[in-house]
Amino acid sequence: MIFPQQNQFIQKKERVIRYYPLVQDTKGFGVFDIGSNTIKFLAARPKSDNQLDYLLHLSYTTRLAEGLFFTGELSQEAIYRTLDILGLLRRRADELGLTHRIAAATSAVRDSKNRKNFLKQAEEILGHKIILLSGDDEAKLIYRGVSSDPLLQDKTDPLTVVDVGGGSSEWIRGKDKIPEYFLSLPLGAIRIKDRFIEGYPVGTKTVAKMLLCLEKQLQEQLKDIRIDCQGVIGTGGTISTMANIFQQSSKEDFLKTHLFPMDTDSILKKIEEFARYDLEKLRTVPGLPHNRTEIIIPGMAVVFGTLVVLGSSTIISSIRGLRYGLLDLLISG
């Protein structure tokens, strides 16, 4: 297949660059997370102590959901961008000799009218089936990934998790690694942008309208999850980018991003500050990748609305999420 010239939205982010020599007769695991905004890849290999070596974390922005809100279909340009990256990641998985692989598609694909055509082409490139996740299954796997974190193993209080994606957002509450309540809504950063934002600077009036609408919508939807909400853990691209912004990180750093706390007052101040910036000014914000300048405000708005409705003053960033849940599913068989 011939792909068009690389699009401006395709921006490579090699978060961890660590390679280990492949061991003969040792399993390798590869995870392909086909999201609405980014395509993520995770490679791991088991160690002798039942732990994992994480060989590679990769994330590419392809904006698969771009324009989906208006047309109901994945655009051909977005499909080409995504297939191009899947081909690259297939080659990386082959180079690493990963013998066990899993791939899953989320909101943009499941909500599109032309998903069958996209999945057929994507499966031909990857060489295996792609799981088309329902919203509920996506939420459960996100919780599975977050709760598998060794640093949270001794947590006895209920765990509340929010994942803000490009096409959808998920909210999950559980205890002892078991999700008790889960919800998926088409409130991803790209959809919110398409729904509310017409230009930049966004302006305080548009932000106020966006926050009010989100709060009203979430009040009813999250009424059951407010019970026993001791704190909120956030995962996904929006959350990790927020952690980078608050720390003014020049690049993504797992050690700095993971379990970093952010409070509602600081989040609101950042939203109001960014609302006054045009795109050129947004691109100068430390910690904000250029491929997220157009969707950071709506993404942060979903986070802020969630905290207000849940009555929580803080959200803690986690690097674990859907891909780690898929990895756990792959390992468990």
Question: Could you tell me which residue, 165 or 271, shows the higher pLDDT?
Answer: 271
Q: What is the pLDDT of residue 258?
A: 87
Whose tokens are 């096409």? That residue is 167
Residue partners of 165: CB distance under 8 A and separation at least 6: 35, 36, 37, 106, 107, 188, 189, 236, 237, 238
Tokens of 29: 């695991």
Band of pLDDT at residue 180, cut at 50, 70 and 90: confident
pLDDT score of 14 more than 60: no
Band of pLDDT at residue 276, cut at 50, 70 and 90: very high
Q: What is the pLDDT of residue 13?
A: 43
Interval 84-116: pLDDT, tens: 999 999 999 999 999 999 999 999 999 999 999
Question: Could you tell me which residue, 10 or 48, shows the higher pLDDT?
Answer: 48
pLDDT score of 37 more than 60: yes
Q: What count of other Cβ atoms lies within 10 Å of the Cβ of residue 76?
A: 10
pLDDT score of 74 more than 80: yes
Q: What is the pLDDT of residue 156?
A: 67
Q: What is the pLDDT of residue 224?
A: 79
- Average pLDDT on 117-131 reads 96
Q: What is the pLDDT of residue 25?
A: 43
pLDDT score of 183 more than 50: yes
Q: What is the pLDDT of residue 51?
A: 81
| CA–CA distance, 12 with 309 (Å, rounded to integer) | 35
The one-letter amino acid at 202: V
15, with CB counted inside 10 A (0-12, 13-18, 19+), is middle
Q: What is the pLDDT of residue 39?
A: 95
Interval 217-271: pLDDT, tens: 999 899 877 766 667 999 998 999 999 999 988 666 666 788 899 999 999 999 9
Q: What is the pLDDT of residue 11?
A: 41
| CA–CA distance, 209 with 232 (Å, rounded to integer) | 24
DSSP secondary structure letter of residue 35? -
Q: What is the pLDDT of residue 6?
A: 38
| CA–CA distance, 158 with 111 (Å, rounded to integer) | 31
Q: What is the pLDDT of residue 159?
A: 86
pLDDT score of 126 more than 70: yes
Band of pLDDT at residue 154, cut at 50, 70 and 90: low
Band of pLDDT at residue 67, cut at 50, 70 and 90: confident
- Average pLDDT on 169-189 reads 89
The domains of the chain, with CATH numbers, are 12-132 (3.30.420.40), 136-322 (3.30.420.150)
Band of pLDDT at residue 145, cut at 50, 70 and 90: very high
